[in-house]
Homo-oligomer: A and B are copies of this chain.
Amino acid sequence: MITKRVNSVADALSGVTSGMTLMLGGFGLCGIPENAIAELVRLNVNQLTCISNNAGVDDFGLGLLLQKKQIDKMISSYVGENAEFERQMLSGELAVELIPQGTLAERCRAAQMGIPAFYTPAGYGTEVADGKESRDFNGKPHLLEHAFKADFSFIKAWKGDEAGNLIFKGTARNFNAPMAGAARICVAEVEELVPVGTLDPNTVHVPGIFVQRIFQGEQYEKRIEQRTLSQRA
C-alpha cells in the first residue's frame, strides 16, 4: 500500500503559492473542503484562479477567500448568494467565467481521466459557444470542450484511509469525485480517517491512486444553506 497520509492541514497544502489554479469540490456549501479553505485563508496566498461550482456565501466557503481578495478569477456555474462576490465582480476586481454545470463537471472528469477534449450539446447557440468549435453529431450541434488544467484540487470526503481511498455521503459527492486526480496534486480531507482494511474495496468511490495527500479535518461546521422542513402531521 502507498501511504498518502499527511499529519496536518499545513502539510497537506505545502507547495500552494499565489497565482495558482485551484479546484475546490462541493455544491453550494455541501461537501466543501472546509479545512483546506481555512488554511488557504491562513496562508494568505492570492491571485488565485478557483474552479468551483459555486463561490460560497459571504462568511463561509470560498466567501472567506473573497473577503480577503485572494481570488482573481472564479470559474463556476452559479455564483449567487454572495454580496461581496457581486461587489468585486461589478467593480472589475474579480474575473468570472461562467460554465454550464455539466460541462464544468465533465471537464474535471476529463482532466482526471486523461481525455483532453470531448463534445457536448450544452451551450450551443448561446454566448457560452463564443470562440468555441462546434460540430454536428447525429444531426445535433455540439461544442468542443477541453479538460481543465489545475495545480491543486481540494476535495472533501466522509471517510478515507491512508491509501487515499475515499467514500462520500449523500449529495456531498458532487464535484469532489470528478476533481480527484484532476489536478497535479489532489488533497483530500475527510471527516474520519479510518485504518487501512476498514473500507470495503467494493464501496470505495474514489480509489487512492487519484489522491496525493489525505488528512482528517480538525472540525466540520457543515453549514446548511437552506434549512427547509416538512411539518409533522
Contact = CB atoms under 8 A, between A and B. Distances in A.
A119 to B, nearest CB: 5
A227 interface: no
Interface stretch (A1-9, A167-175, A189-197): A167-175
A118 B117 contact: yes
A110 B106 CA distance: 11
Chain multiplicity (copies): 2
A137 B119 contact: no
Interface string A143-169: 000100000000000000000000111
Nearest to A106: B115
A119 B120 contact: no
Interface residues of A, number: 22
Contacts of A116: 119, 137-138, 142
Interface string A104-128: 0010001001111111110000000
Contacts of A202: 167-170, 203
B117 A115 contact: no
A192 to B, nearest CB: 14
Nearest to A203: B203
A110 B137 CA distance: 13
A120 B115 CA distance: 6
Contacts of A115: 106, 118-120
A138 B110 CA distance: 14
Interface string A127-146: 00000000001100010001
Contact of A119 (B117, B138, B169): B117
A120 B120 CA distance: 16
A120 to B, nearest CB: 7
Nearest to A135: B117
A120 B117 CA distance: 8
Contacts of A170: 201-202
Given A114-B121, A117-B137, A167-B202, 13 more contacts: A115-B118, A115-B119, A115-B120, A116-B119, A116-B138, A116-B142, A117-B118, A118-B118, A118-B119, A168-B202, A169-B202, A170-B202, A202-B203
14 contacts: A110-B118, A114-B120, A114-B121, A115-B119, A116-B119, A116-B137, A116-B138, A117-B118, A117-B137, A117-B142, A118-B118, A118-B119, A170-B202, A202-B203
